[in-house]
Amino acid sequence: MNVGIIGAGITGLTAAYDLTRMGHQVTIYEARPYAGGLAAGFSDPRWEWPLERFYHHWFASDREVLGLIDELGASARTFFPRPTTSIYHQGHIYPFDSPLRVLRFTPLPLIDRLRVGVVTLYLRMLRNWHPLERVTAAEWTRRAVGQRAYEVLWKPLLISKFGEQNYQDVNMAWFWARLYKRTPRLGYFEGGFQGLVDLLVERVRAQGGVVQLNTHVRGIYPTEGQIKLKLDGGEAQHNQVIATCSPRALHVRTPALPPDYATSLDNLKSMGAVVLILALRHRLTDGHYWINMPKSEGIPFMGLVEHTNYISPEHYDGDHLVYCGDYLEPEHPYFSYSKEQLLETYLPGLVRVNPDFRPDWVRASWMFTEPYAQPVPTLDHSRNIPPLRTPIPGLWAANMSQVYPWDRGTNYAVELGRRVATALGAAG
């Protein structure tokens, strides 16, 4: 078959890798000048390795992506440090990534700490998540761990991920998945995630696939048993097309979608992401990799990730690299900020984290945004997930909303890419 794939993120590249191995003719169209989607990296002239635009790591339980890396013959390039993940509470940073550290979290009474530990263990042992999607995470966790622990630990996490408007609507199956898959060791790839992206692009091309960057797909039109793609300055015809863009983008680009299906795509809620990356001359925190920042503390970002407390700064010419990130409604003003405006907004938060911080610590900075970064899984979300096969023959959808109950990430992007490639190959 002649297959077109919209998007050169991990899902699109994985699907292309499998389909070209099956012998199909594949062309990927990527609007950006680079491949990798949310996992793509960027470089500074001083650095040995590129850095991800949005912070990334793997869990040791991420079998899909680790299996693909093994197929590519690159397992030796993966490694698994054990960084410290923490929470910020009332001006202090508390490591919070092991049962012992949970027990040492003195802001909560011992009975609450024990209760959190027992509930966490229960969720990690639980296999059947389906009943959990019928209750909200806010309701379930409040009942399970009590009001005090909920207010201090899990309510801030939900608000950070989904905002004040959405956090009470998120179902418990999503929360379960976050705990179920988590491991203390976190994986990385030599050369950054961009190294894996480049390897996939290279393999797709070696197997006869075409990867076209800077190529916008403006429209998707069924015509005489094929799918026509309207491109800038031309068009292309394919027997089958996989759209890895957001549900909303698929609707906008495909006028022929039935109204009820188009409405179902529009009803899939999601959050965007804003990230400010700083190259600092000094270490910001004492060994903390990931710090959850409750918005109730008045800090203007929800997460602080000090990448070089996880990956050695020697790969970045000694820079200490810090992400300040937030999940926001796509209409939030931060999406229209300049990098300088966002830096000015975020700097007071860095002083809260480290009172010694000074603006002249910042050697360089970068800002990245993505309007479609985090699906919002509401009650009974499994009923809302669009199937891979759309109502238009030959047109397939593969996006983050379809990896539920798992959270978005490269592991599930690989799984989704392989799943849609298998389904498409069987249909053909």
**Is 296 inside any structural domain?**
no
Among 158, 181, 204, the domain boundary falls at 181
Pairing mode, strands 84-89 and 288-292: parallel
**Is 341 inside any structural domain?**
no
Q: Is 394 left (phi over 0), alpha (psi -120 to 50) or beta?
A: left
What pLDDT is stored for residue 407 in this prediction? Answer: 87
Pairing mode, strands 270-280 and 320-328: antiparallel
Q: What angle do CA 158, 112, 92 make, to 5 degrees?
A: 65
Among 156, 181, 206, the domain boundary falls at 181
- Same domain, yes or no: 217 and 257: yes
**Is 238 inside any structural domain?**
yes
**Helix 192-206 × helix 10-21 angle, to 10°:** 30
Q: What is the rounded distance in angstroms from the CA atom of residue 113 to the CA atom of residue 116?
A: 5
What pLDDT is stored for residue 225 in this prediction? Answer: 87
What pLDDT is stored for residue 224 in this prediction? Answer: 86
- Same domain, yes or no: 196 and 234: yes
**Is 200 inside any structural domain?**
yes
**Is 280 inside any structural domain?**
no
What pLDDT is stored for residue 167 in this prediction? Answer: 96
- Same domain, yes or no: 176 and 102: yes
Query: Which residue, 428, 427, 401, is CA-closest to 416?
Result: 401
Report helix, strand or coil for 85: strand
- Same domain, yes or no: 204 and 260: yes
- Same domain, yes or no: 195 and 228: yes
| Six token digits for residue 208 | 């006869």
- Same domain, yes or no: 261 and 399: yes
Spell out, as residue ranges, where the chain has pLDDT lower than 70.
Answer: none
Among 142, 159, 181, the domain boundary falls at 181
- Same domain, yes or no: 24 and 154: no
Q: Output the CA–CA distances (angstroms, integers) from residue 112 to 126, 149, 219, in the order listed.
A: 21, 6, 54
- Same domain, yes or no: 177 and 218: no
The boundaries of the domain holding residue 239 are 2-50+191-268+384-427
- Same domain, yes or no: 128 and 256: no
Query: Which residue, 33, 26, 393, is CA-closest to 216?
Result: 33
- Same domain, yes or no: 171 and 243: no
- Same domain, yes or no: 253 and 198: yes
**Is 68 inside any structural domain?**
no
**Is 356 inside any structural domain?**
no
CB 311 within 8 A of CB 81: yes
261: domain CATH number?
3.50.50.60
Report the domain count for the chain.
2
What pLDDT is stored for residue 80 in this prediction? Answer: 97
- Same domain, yes or no: 118 and 136: yes
**Is 274 inside any structural domain?**
no
